[in-house]
Amino acid sequence: MLKVEKRMETPTYLKVVIPIVSVLVAILFSSLILLITGENALAALNTIFAGSLINWQEVLVNGVSLMIIGIGIAIAFKMVIWNIGAAGQMMMGMIFAAGVALFLHVWIPPALLLPAMFIAAIIGGGLWALISGGAKAVWNVNEVITSLLLNYVALYILQFLVNGPWKGVKSMGFPQTDPFPEAARIPTIFPTGRLHYGLLIAIIVVIVFYFLLNKSRWGYEIRVIGEGRNVARYGGMSLAKNIFIAMFASGALAGLAGAIQVSALEGRLSPHMNTDIGYTAIIVVWLSRLHPLVIGIVSVFMGALLYAETSLPAAGIPTEIAKLMQGLILFFVIAGDFFSRYKVKMVKE
Amino acid sequence: MEQYLVEMKNIRKVFPGGVVANDKVNLSIMKGEIHALLGENGAGKSTLMNILTGLYRQDGGELFIRDEKIEGKYGPKEAIAKGIGMVHQNFRLVKPFTVAENMVLGNRKTIIYDEKSIVSKIEEISEKFKLQISPKAKIWQLSIGEQQRVEIIKMLYKGAEILIMDEPTAVLTPQEVKSLFDILKGMTKEGLSIIFITHKMNEVLTYADRITVLRGGFAIKTLNASDTNESELADLMVGRQLDTKRMIDDGVNIGDVVLKLENVGAMNDKGLPALKDVSFEIKGGEILGVAGVAGNGQKELSEVITGLRSVKKGSVIFKGDNITKESVRKIIDRNIAFIPEDRHGMGLANNLPATDNAILKMYTKKEYGRFLLNKKKIDEATTKMVNDFEIKIPNINCNVKLMSGGNLQKLILARETFENPELIIAVYPIRGLDVGATDYVHRKLAEERRKGKAILLISEDLEEIYKMTDKVAVLFDGQIMDVLETKGADIKKLGLLMAGIKEEVDTNA
């Protein structure tokens, strides 16, 4: 008979082994589904993994957004504030950055244009998140619902702008703005490929927030509040103030990621930008157990899976396989969590 | 009429960890009576009822229902099949559903929701017992009193003949209490039996037919309500034998007034008055005990002093400064220590290491880091606490949830006294601790008193009050009934004050 026992403490090696095994099981399981559907499982895995290695720049491009948004989400999640509005906050960041790039660039020296866009995006994304955060702090409104629904509001604002007032003169009828001036573009690192200097910003964000969340007084307050509202109040912490700050920071980082994406990749505002990444980042954060440095690593891994979504159809394999794998990985990692919390023993009766 | 519906004989229940919740408990319920289970918190009332309703299984003793010995599988489903239903303190109703829909929840025999027959059955029950509940009302639209009646209907709908009410009056206004008992009386006339759990003596005497007093897990006595009085019940509830060996020495220099409350009023979480015109003062080198049955405003009292609850009326004065409206952080920085009732949910963050918990009150001080925390300083402080208080912990980076109750309380005590506080608020500081840890906590408090600190000790244990306090204030229904010198205070008088009775008692009797 199998007996399940609660673990007092999870050994460190299991904290590493269990997620890796879970991911392997997920890959195995996806291969099984591929085989059943008659696809060539080996070819698919090859496309995903070898393809990612060859096109590592694209993988990292995805990783940049995931890292920055992921850190933002982790701040809120650590406080047990479920901000799932990163996609919308990201769009507000894009809109604010685009606004600066398109309409204020004449007044801003070229060298300061990018920083100005980033600051605008941070304010835009942060304020957008504060709508949910403020309602939560003041009236205890469920932030899951408000932050999720605000994603649609942000999307419609974006669509309105690119179809209406901000529609470019040179857009040839497409719903998009004019291209940004050159000073508003983040340069690429290499002569070929799309990998851009946003990667540096992402790495800095990961490291800075690692220290902020794990070593600073602010991070301490977030940890304690995440443990329980009563213990935080008892320790003399202001809940409302901390919810405001954390939600602003969370949205600000999503906004920054939006600005980087729109400036480095598209160079113009259009409704076809990859904002789904705001949802994917939630998976990254969950897989990383909210640890900033782990978020940095897992973002790259998830970046590869996202890249596979575009590379698989080219190899004649349905793109859904990559999505399926993302889902399965999350599923198995969460299920695997059971084994880090419980011990399963064989008991002879 | 000597026929018992329920008989519980020599019931014993031990929880993992060796806590004896019930031992040698006998209880018998007659048809058509209102039977009160009276006792303080932790006396074993709920455990006993959970055995009767099949939630727990007794470790010893026998249970008879209608003279049939209960053996084999006996769970909540079997209990209700035998006609035993319980109305819990926290209602188990689905708020967006109607009364009728709530009736059939969890009932596996109901495959088709036949609203017509359910509604007519509810109307029949409601009519018969004057419960005045409309079957189609949604639960969230109903008042608390009405929701309680829905719970009663639910039990009757399921065929309960013995209705257990867990602290039914705790959530009700005085008018609702009266109408509830009118309804219950009416039900007993129809042959139903009622068991109600309470710690309020006046209700017991007014409404019950028979009373069983529990104390410390034992059934002390069963009496007829008509043959007893408050004074006897108070005696039975708190017990008479007390170890009056005092742990604090006489002749400590009494200092200036440290804490003073003037006509303080405050609400509880439900928005009802919890403290009414509370006034007292504590001087340095003095321990003021607050005695009383739990739930009479103790929690609120500790919270208004520490800034966790807003004061509606009156003022809190600390060393001459009015701190009534100050934030929790400001009050902490005034060096007021607080040992809260809830160790896990409030005093400590369970999933954080001992270091994080050690600095909970002083992390804002600059020596622990203005921006980045100074890990070295924090480790030093934590290590000092662990050594000074002999806290058993594998290492200081261990999560505190792995520590035992005694060690957790030591950690709280170490933290709260680390900055040499002027005033210590301690709420039930020995609850759940073993003898050794209890003794340790008491010795530390006595030591702080000797240093000239003022201490407010809220206690549910008269023995602790006798051992540890200079003065005792009795709290009842949010009011301070009286403040007495502990030395020589009459236990009977204390018991009566705790029951809310102020008149002079002839102590020679």
Q: Does A236 contact B308 at a Cβ distance shorter than 8 Å?
A: no
pLDDT of residue B243: 54
pLDDT of residue B452: 92
Q: Does B360 touch chain A (CB under 8 A)?
A: yes
Q: Does B363 contact A233 at a Cβ distance shorter than 8 Å?
A: no
Q: Does B362 touch chain A (CB under 8 A)?
A: no
Q: Does B346 contact A211 at a Cβ distance shorter than 8 Å?
A: no
Q: Kindly state whether residue A224 falls inside one of the protein's structural domains.
A: yes
Identify the residue among A15, A220, A222 best suited for mutation to test binding to B, counting B beta carbons within 10 A and taking the highest.
A220
pLDDT of residue B420: 92
Q: Does B376 touch chain A (CB under 8 A)?
A: no
Cα torsion angle, B104, B108, B110, B112, sign:
positive
Instruction: Look up residue B61 and give its amino acid.
Output: G
Q: Kindly state whether residue A97 falls inside one of the protein's structural domains.
A: yes
Quick one: which of B25, B32, B9 has its CA closest to B209? B32
Q: Kindly state whether residue A119 falls inside one of the protein's structural domains.
A: yes
Q: Kindly state whether residue A347 falls inside one of the protein's structural domains.
A: no
Distance CA B339, CA B306 (A): 10
CATH architecture classification, B244-335+420-509 = 3-Layer(aba) Sandwich (3.40)
Max CA pair span of chain A: 81
Residues of A in contact with B364 (CB under 8 A): 217, 236
A202-242: pLDDT as tens digits: 999 999 999 999 999 999 999 999 999 999 999 999 999 99
Residues of A in contact with B370 (CB under 8 A): 217
Residues of A in contact with B349 (CB under 8 A): 223-224, 227-228, 231
pLDDT of residue B508: 45
Residues of B in contact with A231 (CB under 8 A): 345-349, 360
Residues of B in contact with A215 (CB under 8 A): 372-373, 375
- Per-residue tokens: B372: 């980045």
Q: Does B370 touch chain A (CB under 8 A)?
A: yes
Residues of B in contact with A224 (CB under 8 A): 349, 352, 356, 360
Q: Kindly state whether residue A144 falls inside one of the protein's structural domains.
A: yes
Identify the residue among A6, A7, A234, A340 best suited for mutation to test binding to B, counting B beta carbons within 10 A and taking the highest.
A234
Nearest by CB to B352, from A217, A227, A237: name it.
A227
In angstroms, how far is the first alpha carbon of chain B from the final one? 36
Query: What percent helix, strand, coil does chain B show, rounded to 5?
Result: 35, 25, 40
- Taking CA–CA distances from B330, the nearest residue in chain A reads A236
When divided into structural domains, chain A yields a total of 1
Of residues A255 and B130, the one with the higher pLDDT is A255
Q: Does domain B4-238 bear CATH number 3.40.640.10? A: no
Residues of B in contact with A9 (CB under 8 A): 399, 402
Angle in degrees, CA B463, B469, B471, rounded to 5: 115
Strands B162-166 and B84-87, bridge-based pairing: parallel
pTM over 0.80, yes/no:
no
Of residues A131 and B39, the one with the higher pLDDT is A131
Distance CA B25, CA B322 (A): 51
pLDDT of residue B204: 87
Distance CA B271, CA B290 (A): 23
- Per-residue tokens: A313: 């159809």
Distance CA B376, CA B211 (A): 60
* B309 CB-near residues (< 8 Å, 6+ apart): B266, B300, B303
* B395 CB-near residues (< 8 Å, 6+ apart): none
Identify the residue among A207, A223, A231, A237 best suited for mutation to test binding to B, counting B beta carbons within 10 A and taking the highest.
A231
Q: Does B418 touch chain A (CB under 8 A)?
A: no
Which helix (H) or strand (E) segment holds residue A280: the answer is helix A277-287
Residues of A in contact with B350 (CB under 8 A): 227
Distances (CA, A) of A108 to A116, A118, A268: 8, 13, 18
pLDDT of residue B242: 55
Nearest by CB to A220, from B351, B363, B402: name it.
B363
Q: Do domains B4-238 and B244-335+420-509 have the same CATH topology?
A: yes
Which B-chain residues 299-328 have CB contacts (< 8 A) with chain A?
A: 308, 327-328
Instruction: Look up residue B196 and give its amino acid.
Output: F
Q: Does A217 contact B327 at a Cβ distance shorter than 8 Å?
A: no
- Per-residue tokens: B303: 């919270």
pLDDT of residue B509: 40
DSSP letters spanning B399-461 = BGGGS-HHHHHHHHHHHHHHT--SEEEEESTTTT--HHHHHHHHHHHHHHHHTT-EEEEE-S-
| Cα-only R_g, chain B | 25
| d(CA A223, nearest CA chain B) in Å | 8
The conformation of residue B371, written as its DSSP 8-state character, comes to: S
Are B238 and B206 a contacting pair, CB within 8 Å? Answer: no
Q: Kindly state whether residue A263 falls inside one of the protein's structural domains.
A: yes
Distance CA B476, CA B41 (A): 15
Q: Does B308 contact A217 at a Cβ distance shorter than 8 Å?
A: no
- Per-residue tokens: B335: 């060096």
A43-73: pLDDT as tens digits: 888 888 888 899 999 999 999 999 999 999 9
Strands B257-267 and B273-283, bridge-based pairing: antiparallel
Q: Does B451 touch chain A (CB under 8 A)?
A: no
What residues are paired with B63 via a beta bridge? B8
What residues are paired with B18 via a beta bridge? none
Q: Does A236 contact B352 at a Cβ distance shorter than 8 Å?
A: no
Distances (CA, A) of B472 to B277, B292, B338, B441: 17, 10, 19, 19
Host domain of residue A233: 58-296
- Taking CA–CA distances from B329, the nearest residue in chain A reads A236
pLDDT of residue B244: 59
Angle in degrees, CA A282, A283, A288, rounded to 5: 100
B141-158: pLDDT as tens digits: 888 888 999 999 999 998
Which residues of A have a CB under 8 Å from any CB of B?
8-9, 211, 215-217, 220, 223-224, 227-228, 230-231, 233-238
pLDDT of residue B507: 47
Q: Kindly state whether residue A231 falls inside one of the protein's structural domains.
A: yes
Q: What is the mean pLDDT of residues A11-35?
A: 87
Nearest by CB to A223, from B330, B342, B352: name it.
B352
Q: Kindly state whether residue A324 falls inside one of the protein's structural domains.
A: no
Q: How far is CA B290 from the centre of its chain?
A: 14
Residue with the two structure tokens 């008991």 = A347
Domain ranges of chain B: 4-238, 244-335+420-509, 346-419
Distance CA A302, CA A280 (A): 8
Query: What percent helix, strand, coil does chain A show, rounded to 5?
Result: 75, 5, 25
Nearest by CB to B308, from A8, A217, A233: name it.
A233
Which helix (H) or strand (E) segment holds residue A72: the answer is helix A56-78
Residue with the two structure tokens 């031990």 = B14
Mean pLDDT, chain A, integer = 91
pLDDT of residue B326: 95
Segments of B210-342 assigned E as strands: 210-215, 218-224, 257-267, 273-283, 287-291, 313-318, 321-322, 336-339
Nearest by CB to A224, from B347, B360, B364: name it.
B360
Identify the residue among B332, B355, B363 best suited for mutation to test binding to A, counting A beta carbons within 10 A and taking the highest.
B363
Distances (CA, A) of B360 to A78, B413, B445: 17, 12, 21
Q: Does A236 contact B327 at a Cβ distance shorter than 8 Å?
A: yes
Quick one: which of B6, B19, B404 has its CA closest to B216? B19
Segments of B319-422 assigned E as strands: 321-322, 336-339
State residue A126 phi and psi, 5-degree precision: -65, -45
Question: Exposed/middle/buried for A189, CB within 10 Å: 0-12, 13-18, 19+?
Answer: middle
Q: Does B374 touch chain A (CB under 8 A)?
A: no
* B503 CB-near residues (< 8 Å, 6+ apart): none
pLDDT average per 10 residues of sequence, chain B (509 residues): 80 78 90 90 83 90 90 87 89 90 79 85 90 89 88 91 88 80 92 88 88 86 88 76 70 88 92 92 95 87 96 95 95 96 90 94 91 94 94 87 85 95 94 79 93 93 87 93 88 81 57
Nearest by CB to B351, from A217, A227, A237: name it.
A227
